[in-house]
Structures are given as structure tokens and as C-alpha cells.
């Protein structure tokens, strides 16, 4: 019955904590995608190795991220959720596609250039060939759509070029995927610097809320959130250019409560920022509470997580291996007889 659904695939690098920004801006809308698409999501642990990781942290974060996605509503019965390194075909096709991706193409990737600047002491081969592995991640599943942010569009373009190149050499093998621009939910900004996005990997922490933050930490951060110096009856009003801090808080409050900006303005008429910030903090605490509790439950239940990973990897492997076998044959590798 899933036969006619279009396929969608995305990888998420376990290199940082999930924030309120990624939840309200994106993940919150992913549960409903499964009705329309056949969705694959994997934790891109192999990609995380391109920058130096603490092994224990990487292991914990990979599982935590998976648990958090499920807690955010990604139903493992309706989506295929797995860990990249569990499906060997990724690394295998990654090698093959390395041989069909040009040095010049890889040299032009802006993410490679940025990351080489940031990690000048560790410009390793994996950082350079990252896009070939990403192409393999994608092409193995023959997806129609790859939802990515702006920073990854260039990699999807390269994936399409590599797929075309391969298809031209060997005949139709890979479906050419389209980048998918997801419907954006709230665009949540840093609480202390409301002109920049709430980032995943900013370690300072006081301007960003992560999904696992305790209620008291959430409240503390919201009480310190930057607003402006306006006073008077109507200081809580939506004017993003003039009052970015307040607009950000209103946006968060709207996303957590379902209220409109007009309703919020009415609700806080005659009240100062103090009361407003507390209300926003409380709405966030209540939004995140069930997610945090559910993710913690999964993290304690090793059997559940293991079963989840195994089932997901088995489903993924079935599709991935089909593509890999085709590719091996086309490029001239001798079939293994066992």
C-alpha cells in the first residue's frame, strides 16, 4: 500500500544537541510527513567522524538524538529510522562514488572550505570526500526528495551531478533526487542575540534552549532573554525590525500555545516584560516536558533502543543492498558466491 508514496530521505549529524529552534522550526512538522511520504531518517555518525569526536560522547549523542526524534513524534512504525554505520552499504557505495566524483568538484564545496578554515589542524580526507558519502547515503534509497537546509543544497546538487554521470556511463541506475525545501515553522532566534539564529552547536548555552533542558534552566534562560527598553501599556507588540527580542519571544509563545500575535498583544496589554517572559518560559517548559520525559525513558530502556535500531537498519538494508548490488555489477566487480 506504500508502493505509490514518494520517497524522502534525510540524514542528521549527531554533533550537537537538538534545540527548541530545530523543534519548532522543523522537527515538529515531520511527524505528519509520514502520511504523504515514505520517509527515511538516519543518524549520520560516519559523517560526524570528519571532525574529531570524543568516542563516548559520540555514542551517547547518536542514541540520544535517535531517542529525541522518536520523542518528537517520528513514529518508528511509520518511518524508517536508523544509524548510518549500521547499514554497511553507505560506506561501500561511498567508496565507489568517490571514484566518480572529481577533485575539482569536491574542492568547490563551500562547506569544505569553511570547515577547513575552522579545523585547520585536521583537514582530513574524510572532510574532503564528505559529499561522496552523502551522495551514497541518498542514492542508495532512490529517493524523490531530500529535505535539506541551505547549507546542504550544494551537496545535493553534487549528488545529482554524480548520479547523472553514473547513469550516463552505465545506464539508468540512480533516481535523480530533488532538494525539498521544507515548510518552515517558527524561525527561532538566540535569546541573548535575537538577530542570529538559535544554533545547534553554540556551546555557550544561555541564549539557546535544548530539548533536554530542565524546567528551571528553561525558566532562567527566558527570564534573562533580551527584550528592549520600551515601557508602557503596549510594549508587547509584534515589530520584528524594531523589536527583534520581543518578536522572537512572541513567535516562540505563538508556536507553543497556538495563539495569534493579536491575541498575545491583548493578553499582555498593561503588563511588563517580566510577566511576559515568565509566560513564554512556562509555555516552553510545558511543550518540552513530554518530549524530554519520553526521550529519557527510551534512553533508560536499552532493549527498546536496540530493537528500534535493529528494525530500522533491517528495513533500510533491504533497499540499500538492492541498489548496491546493481552498482557492483555495473562497474564490473565479480559477484561474491557464498
- Strand ranges inside the chain, DSSP E: 6-12, 37-43, 80-83, 145-147, 178-180
- Should residue 48 be labelled a site residue for ligand TRP when binding is judged by CB under 6 A? no
- Should residue 323 be labelled a site residue for ligand TRP when binding is judged by CB under 6 A? no
Distance CA 62, CA 312 (A): 14
Residue nearest ligand TRP, Cβ-based: 11
- Should residue 252 be labelled a site residue for ligand TRP when binding is judged by CB under 6 A? no
- Should residue 11 be labelled a site residue for ligand TRP when binding is judged by CB under 6 A? yes
Which one of the listed residues 5, 78, 197, 315 is annotated catalytic?
197
Nearer to ligand TRP, 89 or 134 (CB): 134
Question: At a CB cut-off of 8 Å and minimum separation 6, what does 307 contact?
Answer: none
Distance CA 195, CA 279 (A): 22
| Residue of 184, 130, 141 whose CA lies nearest to 312 | 141
**Which residue in the set 17, 45, 64, 137 belongs to the binding site for ligand TRP (CB under 6 A)?**
137
200 carries an active-site annotation: yes
78 carries an active-site annotation: no
Angle made by CA atoms 50, 155, 142, in degrees to the nearest 5: 105
- Should residue 138 be labelled a site residue for ligand TRP when binding is judged by CB under 6 A? yes
Instruction: Judge contact between 81 and 66, C-beta under 8 A.
Output: yes
- Should residue 152 be labelled a site residue for ligand TRP when binding is judged by CB under 6 A? yes
Contact window for ligand TRP (CB under 6 A) among 146-154, 220-228, 254-262, 304-312: 146-154
Nearer to ligand TRP, 142 or 248 (CB): 142
Distance CA 122, CA 119 (A): 5
Residues 27-46 that bind ligand TRP (CB under 6 A): 44
Question: At a CB cut-off of 8 Å and minimum separation 6, what does 34 contact?
Answer: 74, 75, 78, 79
| Residue of 53, 43, 50, 49 whose CA lies nearest to 13 | 43
Least distance in angstroms from the C-beta of 192 to ligand TRP? 25
Contact window for ligand TRP (CB under 6 A) among 18-26, 131-139, 254-262, 272-280: 131-139
Distance CA 24, CA 206 (A): 18
Which one of the listed residues 5, 200, 223, 315 is annotated catalytic?
200
**Which residue in the set 10, 80, 85, 101 belongs to the binding site for ligand TRP (CB under 6 A)?**
10
- Should residue 17 be labelled a site residue for ligand TRP when binding is judged by CB under 6 A? no
Q: Which residues are catalytic?
A: 115, 197, 200
Amino acid at each position: 500500500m506504500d508502493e505509490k508514496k514518494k520517497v524522502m530521505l534525510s540524514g542528521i549529524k549527531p554533533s550537537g544537541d537538538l534545540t527548541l529552534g530545530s523543534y519548532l522550526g522543523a522537527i515538529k512538522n515531520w511527524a505528519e510527513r509520514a502520511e504523504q511520504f515514505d520517509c527515511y531518517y538516519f543518524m549520520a555518525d560516519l559523517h560526524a567522524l570528519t571532525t574529531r569526536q570524543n568516542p563516548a560522547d559520540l555514542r551517547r549523542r547518536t542514541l540520544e538524538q535517535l531517542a529525541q526524534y522518536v520523542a518528537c513524534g517520528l513514529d518508528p512504525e511509520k518511518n524508517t529510522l536508523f544509524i548510518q554505520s549500521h547499514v554497511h552499504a553507505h560506506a561501500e557505495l561511498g567508496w565507489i562514488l568517490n571514484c566518480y566524483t572529481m577533485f575539482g568538484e569536491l574542492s568547490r564545496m563551500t562547506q569544505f572550505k569553511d570547515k577547513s578554515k575552522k579545523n585547520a589542524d585536521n583537514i582530513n580526507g574524510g572532510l574532503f570526500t564528505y559529499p561522496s558519502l552523502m551522495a551514497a547515503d541518498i542514492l542508495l534509497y532512490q529517493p524523490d526528495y531530500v529535505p535539506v537546509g541551505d547549507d546542504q543544497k550544494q551537496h545535493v546538487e553534487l549528488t545529482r551531478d554524480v548520479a547523472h554521470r553514473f547513469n550516463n556511463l552505465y545506464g539508468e541506475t540512480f533516481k535523480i533526487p530533488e532538494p525539498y525545501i521544507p515548510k518552515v515553522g517558527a524561525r527561532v532566534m538566540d535569546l541573548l542575540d535575537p538577530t542570529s539564529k538559535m544554533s545547534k552547536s553554540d556551546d555557550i548555552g544561555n541564549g539557546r534552549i535544548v530539548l533536554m533542558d530542565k524546567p528551571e534552566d528553561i525558566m532562567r534562560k527566558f527570564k534573562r532573554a533580551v527584550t528592549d527598553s520600551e515601557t508602557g501599556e503596549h510594549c508587547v507588540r509584534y515589530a520584528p525590525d524594531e523589536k527583534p527580542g520581543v518578536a522572537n519571544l512572541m513567535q516562540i509563545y505563538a508556536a507553543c500555545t497556538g495563539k495569534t500575535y493579536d491575541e498575545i498583544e491583548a493578553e499582555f496589554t498593561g503588563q511588563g516584560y517580566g510577566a511576559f517572559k515568565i509566560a513564554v518560559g512556562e509555555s516552553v517548559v510545558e511543550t518540552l516536558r513530554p518530549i524530554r520525559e519520553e526521550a529519557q525513558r527510551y534512553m533508560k530502556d536499552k532493549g527498546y533502543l536496540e530493537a528500534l535500531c535493529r528494525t530500522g537498519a533491517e528495513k533500510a538494508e533491504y533497499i540499500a543492498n538492492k541498489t548496491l548490488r546493481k552498482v557492483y555489477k555495473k562497474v564490473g566487480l565479480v559477484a561474491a558466491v557464498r
